[in-house]
Structure 1
Amino acid sequence: MTAPTLARPPRRGTRGLRIRRTEFWVYLFLLPTIVLYGLFTVYPIIGSYWYSFLDWNGFDAVKDFIGLANYAEAIHDPLFWNAFKVTVLFTVVAVPLKVIGAFALAMVLNSPRMPWRGFFRTAFFLPVVTTTAIVGIVMQFVFDPASGPVNLVLIKLGLVDQGVNFLGSSKTALWTVIAVFTWKWLGQTLIYWLAALQTIPRELYEAAAIDGASSSKITWHVTLPLLKPFTIIITLLTIESTLHVFDLMLTMTGGGPFYSTQVLEIFIYEQAFTSTVPRLGYASAAAVLFGLFVFLIGLLQLIGIRAAQKARQ
């Protein structure tokens, strides 16, 4: 009777060969993404830094190196600073509207006594997945001073005698875009708050109710303190997303009237592509300055996330 033979363990060389084969296929499937990311993201970023030192219109073969002249011109350009001011104003107004408005909605939609919660969550999130350019074009018709439904309702209610040119007046254009932007992206911030509210144990609410705490006291002493780390992160994410409003602003107002809605992204686009004499070098310098501003916001976001982690600990 022969003794049973034990299976030999795989050799180290064979195992290493299998790992290398697996890594080969992983990198092979990642290669298209790496190539496309390099061509359409990394290369334009590096190229914009180089072009910012040139006097170039984007078409001529001659590219004159002028050093920091484009940056100096941007710093002394009143239109650049006007675009920067509009960008900051847009952010300062839109961020609180989104954060506070979404939080109030999340508190209502998170209540188990709220009927049709799923329906309302979907309804508020639906504009988020709608193409921004299409929203901007549709809103031009919605706010049309002659036949737009908004003006028709205002005239019917007797609030105005004639249609208001919401997008054609420098006094109302920016505020109108802010309102549309808030409505468009409110659902995204709402999802953030709903996810944050799910982390609060239901037992805490029940214990506070047993102790006789009112709804306002529960919100003030239970909900808000526990949501402090999430508040920092949600606010910073909202700030960063609000800085990118190019597609909506371009389709609704194009930066006008009289530069009242010309954010930095519109300013860069116009300098590079739509001006009488395109100035790709100058636009690249403005884009680099805008990128540094966004970088500072991202740095603030990193500090905020670390502060939120310490607060949770």
Structure 2
Amino acid sequence: MEAAPQPNKRAKRTRLKFHYRTTKELWCLLFIAPQLLLFLLFTIYPIFMSYLYAFFNWNGYGPLNEFVGFDNFKETLLDPIFWNAFRNSLVFMVWLVAIQVPIALLVALLLNASWMRGKIFYRTLIFLPVVTTTAVVGLVMRFLFGAYKGMFNEVLLKIGLIDKPIDWLGSVDTAMLIVILVGIWKSFGMKLIYWLAGIQSLPKDLFEAARIDGASALQLFRYITVPLLIPVGSVILLLSAVNALHVFDLVKAMTDGGPAFKTDMVDVYIYRYAFSGKGEARVGFASAAGVLYGIVVMVISLLMGLLVKLTGGRKSAQH
């Protein structure tokens, strides 16, 4: 009798590898399944439903019966209070980015210097506001800048800079300024970390060679640090702008959009119609406003993303 044929060892190894890879992938899917489920339930599903609600006159309860088409979008576009909130959101974003990003770069350079002592302590101190609850920060700042026995007014009165207390958050001339300054302070530590990561990734031998050739600190910053940080800076600029366009809890806790809608932001505007409880809730109208604002933020993100791609391509071309 002839002996039975031996199985192909290569095919056997292939099957074992396939089985191992499949088992590994299944375990990976099992571990990410809870996160994926939460993402679908609390991110994808609300986004999809907000687009649906925008076409209905709906108060948040009961079935979707009253279809209004694009009426909610038309009403939003014709509402001057919406455009006021939109302008305030842009003002907040522009000032926050224009002040925070360059100052964070200078502080990052200082805290990255070899001669600087206590760098870890200062980095931690600056980063603490980032991990502090924004609503709590807003309430504390509301107390500090309060017109009646506010700590800021008490200090200014004692040193003689003012004659009477100022209602910093109740005046149309100062409310937005205070909100912007608090917003800069609150998220400053995150931009600092971004810049530090970019600075520490720069090639040190390039700086050493320039110092040997006699380059000063200002020349190192102008001709080496800044050009190499342009791609990183573009990403920081994009993240800062997008995050600044969505300010809600800070404004809600500090001013609630007042006085006279001077600090009203689009996120606060949407919340007021959807959840404030002042009269009948208009979830459909609020969803339309959110969709329109989301489209604007997406366009801004795409334009700034194109800037990031262009600056990254220039760097690659230079190398």
- 1:287 and 2:290 are equivalent in the alignment: yes
Check 1:9–1:188 CA distance in 2 against 1; reply closer, same or farther (3 A cut).
Answer: same
Residues 252-291 of structure 1: pairs in structure 2 closer than 5 A: 252-274=254-276, 275-291=278-294
Letter in 2 for 1:131: T
Check 1:8–1:192 CA distance in 2 against 1; reply closer, same or farther (3 A cut).
Answer: closer
Are the counterparts in 2 of residues 53 and 65 from structure 1 also a CA contact under 8 Å?
Answer: yes
- Tell me the residue number matched to 1:82: 84
Shift of residue 17 of structure 1? 3.5
Pick aligned residue for 1:44 from 43, 46, 63: 46
Normalising by structure 2, report the TM-score: 0.91
- 1:232-268 per-residue CA deviation (whole Å, 9 max, x = no partner) reads 1111111011112111111111111111111000000
Check 1:26–1:219 CA distance in 2 against 1; reply closer, same or farther (3 A cut).
Answer: closer
Letter in 2 for 1:214: S
Pick aligned residue for 2:121 from 112, 119, 122: 119
Q: What is the rounded CA distance, in whole Å, between the counterparts of 1:60 and 1:13 in structure 2?
A: 55
- Tell me the residue number matched to 2:210: 208
- 1:149 and 2:180 are equivalent in the alignment: no
Point out the more displaced range, 15-24 or 238-247. 15-24
Point out the more displaced range, 13-22 or 259-268. 13-22
Which ranges of structure 1 fall in alignment gaps of 5 or more residues? 1-6
Q: What is the rounded CA distance, in whole Å, between the counterparts of 1:63 and 1:16 in structure 2?
A: 52
Residues 110-259 of structure 1: pairs in structure 2 closer than 5 A: 110-259=112-261
Q: What is the rounded CA distance, in whole Å, between the counterparts of 1:75 and 1:205 in structure 2?
A: 53
Q: What is the rounded CA distance, in whole Å, between the counterparts of 1:23 and 1:106 in structure 2?
A: 41
Pick aligned residue for 1:312 from 312, 315, 319: 315
Which ranges of structure 2 fall in alignment gaps of 5 or more residues? 1-8
What RMSD, in angstroms, separates the aligned Cα atoms of the two structures? 1.8
Q: What is the rounded CA distance, in whole Å, between the counterparts of 2:217 and 2:120 in structure 1?
A: 23
Q: What is the rounded CA distance, in whole Å, between the counterparts of 2:215 and 2:57 in structure 1?
A: 67
Letter in 1 for 2:103: G
- 1:13-43 per-residue CA deviation (whole Å, 9 max, x = no partner) reads 4443343333333223322222221111111
Letter in 2 for 1:188: M
- Tell me the residue number matched to 1:31: 33
Q: What is the rounded CA distance, in whole Å, between the counterparts of 1:211 and 1:94 in structure 2?
A: 38
Q: What is the rounded CA distance, in whole Å, between the counterparts of 1:213 and 1:62 in structure 2?
A: 69
Are the counterparts in 2 of residues 272 and 283 from structure 1 also a CA contact under 8 Å?
Answer: yes
Shift of residue 66 of structure 1? 0.9
Point out the more displaced range, 54-63 or 182-191. 54-63
Are the counterparts in 2 of residues 237 and 301 from structure 1 also a CA contact under 8 Å?
Answer: no
Check 1:45–1:207 CA distance in 2 against 1; reply closer, same or farther (3 A cut).
Answer: same
- Tell me the residue number matched to 1:73: 75
Letter in 2 for 1:34: L
Shift of residue 214 of structure 1? 2.8
Aligned length: 307
2:263 aligns to what SS in structure 1?
coil
Normalising by structure 1, report the TM-score: 0.92
Check 1:218–1:13 CA distance in 2 against 1; reply closer, same or farther (3 A cut).
Answer: closer
Are the counterparts in 2 of residues 230 and 308 from structure 1 also a CA contact under 8 Å?
Answer: no
Are the counterparts in 1 of residues 56 and 284 from structure 2 also a CA contact under 8 Å?
Answer: yes
Letter in 2 for 1:276: G
Q: What is the rounded CA distance, in whole Å, between the counterparts of 2:308 and 2:226 in structure 1?
A: 17
Check 1:10–1:114 CA distance in 2 against 1; reply closer, same or farther (3 A cut).
Answer: same
Are the counterparts in 2 of residues 55 and 281 from structure 1 also a CA contact under 8 Å?
Answer: yes
Are the counterparts in 1 of residues 139 and 254 from structure 2 also a CA contact under 8 Å?
Answer: yes
Q: What is the rounded CA distance, in whole Å, between the counterparts of 1:217 and 1:191 in structure 2?
A: 24
- Tell me the residue number matched to 1:3: none
